[in-house]
Amino acid sequence: MKKILLKVFALLIIASMFLVACGGGATTEAPVATEASETEAPAATEAATPTDIACGPDPVVLKASFETGFDIPFKLAEEFTKQYPNVTWDISQDQFANLITTTPLVLASDNPPDLLRLPTMVSFAKDGLLMNLDGYADEYGWNEWPVPQLNQNRIAEDGTRGSGALYAMGLNYSLTGVFYNKELAEQIGMTEAPKTVAEFEDLLARAKDAGLLPIMQWGSAKSGMGLAFPLQHLMAAYGPVGPINDWIFQKPGATIDTPSNLIAAQHLEEWIKNGYFPADINAIEYTDAAARFTQGEGVFTFNGDWQNAGYDAGMPGNVGFFLFPPAEAGGAPAAMSAPLTFGIAANAKNADCAAFFLNWVATDDAARTINVNIGGSNPGGPLGATMPSAAEGSVTNETLAAGPVVGEAGNSMDFIANATSSIFAQGWTPELQKLVGGQQDAAGLLQAVQSEYVRELSQ
């Protein structure tokens, strides 16, 4: 009898094993995915109404997901606990590339983080995984803040960015432009920042003639193609920023293949042919380019203010910054400016406290000082908020001063690499690498990226 039982038991186990193999996925995983979108979809369109905006007197543990390698949110969390001792943190961290893969799963889990760094956001918002922050925006008066700050975090019902409901806030707002090596710039006779693209190109030619590398830039597929930076600055110099933003925000009918962008790409192609970039650019990674620039290789480099601390440390007092000049004298300069996006999970347990934190970051003086000193970027916030000053001689002072210039002109753009989640990896990077290798021309570059864009949006 025992043996028969054993036999039956063994058969049962084997049978159940095959059931797991065949039906397991269908019965456990798939419904979770569809259920999540069905039950949470209303939450996405219906704005959250804050009941008690503050972290309250009771102990709160904010669950957070931050990006490894960026100190700002950690330092801000520390300061927040100092000011509000009832709030403690449960922080997990991961590399940006891993956040892209893990964030959707974390958001869809039973215990999602209250506050999280968003590597991308449109698809999460569409799937109802992110909290609509409009309620908090009304409560805290975020909508009165200078317009471009919040626009990039708005998502319309058709999934286009730039307008609609608010799904994220920026911890700070980065700014891009041209960094230069002061000693080398002096050597080629640069006394002030160039006022037009032609003046800048003249400086490049002089650097080349002097036997210097005009521009240090990275281009390895491992860190993504850095020539996208000069290209986008050229685009904004030869055309308006509106259509570029429309393309990034996936507005219907938007195209990157425009006549003014073609002029921009042709200039970049000429720079490449003139040998203004390192010969091995296709193999240079981001960190290598930053290191080589601080070691004196390259008069200029296109980058953003997140690198300020690195440049200050590597070449103290010897690094300067200017906004990329317009095509015509007297025109307004443009720059890429992207928020360091943080959102709140749709099912967050302490959403009110997380929203309070986001407001505190932009409005509290101590928080703003941390933001400037550690991140090097503009902390944003309401008009008229005091701007903390960075250490004397830091390039951060130059990037902070440049921010309002771009802001007043209304010439800030998101990054063309952020248009879709893989346009950088599948479009810009390979096509710009081909441009360097002489296997692609300016017109072909824009056509190829545009068709990749259309292909990705259709999938």
Contact set with another protein (CB under 8 A): 3, 6-7, 10, 13-14, 17-18, 20-22, 24-26, 29-30, 33-34, 36-38, 100-101, 104-105, 107-108, 123-124, 126-127, 129, 219-222, 278-284, 288, 420-422, 425-426, 429-431, 433-434, 436-437, 439-440, 455-456, 459
CA distance 449 to 459: 15
Of 298 and 379, which has the nearer Cβ to another protein? 298
Structure-token pair, residue 101 = 């893969």
| Shortest distance (Å) from residue 128 CB to another protein | 8
CA distance 323 to 406: 9
Of 177 and 226, which has the nearer Cβ to another protein? 226
Measured in residues, the chain has a length of 459
Q: What is the number of other CB atoms lying within 10 angstroms of the CB of residue 317? A: 12
Of 337 and 433, which has the nearer Cβ to another protein? 433
| Shortest distance (Å) from residue 64 CB to another protein | 20
Burial class of residue 6, CB neighbours in 10 A (0-12, 13-18, 19+): exposed
Q: With H, G, I as helix, E, B as strand and everything else as coil, classify residue 315.
A: coil
DSSP 147-158: HHHHHTTEE-TT
Of 14 and 198, which has the nearer Cβ to another protein? 14
Of 282 and 371, which has the nearer Cβ to another protein? 282
Which residues, in sequence order, are bridge partners of residue 88? 61
Of 10 and 198, which has the nearer Cβ to another protein? 10
| Shortest distance (Å) from residue 421 CB to another protein | 6
| Shortest distance (Å) from residue 216 CB to another protein | 13
Number of H helices, E strands in the chain: 20, 12
The alpha carbon dihedral of 414, 419, 425, 428 has a sign of: negative
Q: What is the number of other CB atoms lying within 10 angstroms of the CB of residue 41? A: 14
